[in-house]
Structure 1
Amino acid sequence: MIRDTSAQDQTFSTPATAAPWKRWLWPGIAALVVVLAIGFAARAWLGASRSFDSARVRIAEVKKGDLVRDLAADGKVIAANSPVLYAISAGTVDLKVVAGDVVKKDQELAVIDSPELRSKLAQEQATLAGLEAEASRSLLDATLARAKASKETDQANIERQAAERDLQRYQRGYDGGAVPQIDLAKANDTLKKADISLANAQTDARLQGQGADLDARNKRLLADRQRAVVDEVQRQVDALTLRAPFDGQVGQVQATQHTQVAANAPILGVVDLSRFEIEIKVPESFARDLSLGIPAQLTSGSGQPFAGEISAVSPEVVAGEVNARIRFTDKQPQGLRQSQRMQARVVLDTRRNVIKVERGPFVEQGNGQAYVMDGSTAVRRPVQLGVSSLGEVEILSGLQPGDRVVVSGSDLFGDAERVSIN
């Protein structure tokens, strides 16, 4: 017998054939998920009129907390008192100091040589001397006029007394029959004439005295007027010497040594080192909230804080900003210099437990509308905004804590109601 391989063969039972639907179960599930995802994306795509990349917008979350309305700005140190001294007249300037010198009050800073002004002073002084001499002469003339009038009055009085005695003598002779009546009448006429002469002499004396006094007064007034002119010219001559108005430091020197300067030309400035202020630029939106006396905090380069307050607010808006000044209320840092930089912080108001969101361009551009995120879609929604600080803005209505708002980049959306953010 020929041996075969039957002894090596093994018999296996044939399994039942699997159901066809089981082979397509998992591929069907995967296909369904893909279809749903595509449908959801298509729904979002169809619901939004436009689509933008999320990198082109900034989204912030609405929160609840305290809103501090503060104002932070870089300030520049300026001198609160820094007058510029000018030339009172044209002349040659002789500088006694240089820029940066520390000076004391009334110290000579510069001298202007003005021959014209000094000559004018000499002329006015000579005119004054002449007018004062005339005034003195008018006083002497008044004294002489009154003496002459008094002499004439005395003579008239003596003549009246003599006429009165003659009338008395003629009256006794007439009573005794020794003097005719006509002589008595003449004596009486002579007395009346003497009375008239005395009255006229007294009137002339009074009028001459008044006239002499008036003339003397006029001459004195002319002299006083000229003295005022001399005092003014003398003041101008004294002003040729420029002196420090206070203890301080010489600032910018605008004249050159031993050169001719014109009248009213700036010579140099003096800085009061004891009084400095900080000038800041405030955005126009915050200018209406600033007022004199609002507390502020100033920080120097070392980080040390100094108390201050608003001392001035400009009424003019320049390039969307308003200039304001802050003065130190307690003490100021040592060694401050003009144009040095300092940090300024002004706390305007603090709102407790309010709904707020990060401030962005949507505050000015939204016109009462904001784009709120609904999944990956930004939906336009009306909102009411309250006060704002540099970094945050108060939400009065339209948003709730947890909402996500497009705070910048929404100007790209136009007037679309719904926008897809990829």
Structure 2
Amino acid sequence: MGFNTVCVLFLVLFYLGWSEQCSKGYPFEHYLGTRTPYRIVSNNSFHKIHYEGCTPKKVWMIIRHGTRNPSTSNIETINEKLPKIKSLILNSQNLPNDFIKNRDLDLFKKWKSSLDSEDNNLLAHEGEEEMLLIAERMQSRFPEVFENVYSNTTYKLKFTHSQRTKKSAYYFAAGLFGKQTAKDVWFPEPNKKDPILRFYKLCNKWEKEIKSSVKDRGEQKTFQETHFIEKVVEEVNEKLGLNELTISDISIMYITCGFETAWNKRSKSPWCTPFTEENLKVLEYMEDLKYYWQDGYGHELTYKQACPAFGDLVNHFDTTSAYPKAVIYFTHSGTLLKILAHLGLYKDNEALTASNYDSMSNRKWKTSLIDSFATNLALLLYDCSGTKKVLTLHQENIVKLPCCPDTDLCEFSKLTEYYQESIDRCDFEAMCNTSTINSSEF
């Protein structure tokens, strides 16, 4: 056997070993819910988007912060529980086995938490890169509105009262103008409860009656009592040669798998290794239930309260002034999901419940796809020979609004007609302070 043949054989074996180690034969990165890396769902094309006879004039864009660190409570749970679980795994007499190999045990041996409470929610390096690349790609697609010379007349950029959105805004600006210029970009002082960027923080009724009920007695909690979750607990214990892990333990393993996958493109988190594809689908659905009822279509108030943000979009496109060309907001998961539902995107024919997991495998409301880190929604206003039209992008992919299901460019007049109730009847105070909740009709 010649030298070249040996080299090729080595590379093939290395690749197969790495591939098996990274995926165990399935794309585990596709089932990580709101911690899904943006690189999994993004449109990475830099090609200019062009429609004959049409010129982009303005953009309204809202962006979830990039990949971040866990919350304080998650960091504390990770630091408390996972070292103990790691010890149980490494001391198990039942490992290695057909599922957990020596290389998986090596990953566990090397693993240790590098976070403490002060690191909570901070933007991670991957989040910085996500923002830079989104900005560069959007500028390449729409150079007419994403100008590469900064002016606070041309651009309105705003972030919420958090480090992760502030840093996301800076790195997005760096993608547009370069890091040196980005340091001089002017941002308005953030509000703790911004009426456009984080409207739900001002909605007392939603906070007290919907968010709390979802957490305490919602469909997600009911789903945790089903045989689907029971089976996940049983199978994960079996694979790890244990019998004491609970759904609480497995949930923090799933959460850590998500964060560490988002942070690292090239190395695998050991906390992903105990899950089969079906296990991850069940855990993903458990998370989807939470966000469907808390931030999606579960209650009318949840998505109707997004009308101030939608009104901000309409006002930006409706004004006769050519400036600012670009309105770009940096916010959070809760804002993006409510706006997506307000627009009628990703609405399933039936509600997600604890009892219909089997029939919802092809659901549209899938947070791994629609609410990854750095999730973004962009609407662009075009002048098409005197007619105003709107192009909508989600995750940088063109999507069609319900009012224009057959065309990319939707006439602005048709859009405003379709969402007329949101524009004319946006009584935020009334809807957020009354005492009754209306569930959505399905």
Structure 2-normalised TM-score? 0.15
Greater share of strand: 1
Greater share of helix: 2
Q: Which has the larger radius of gyration?
A: 1
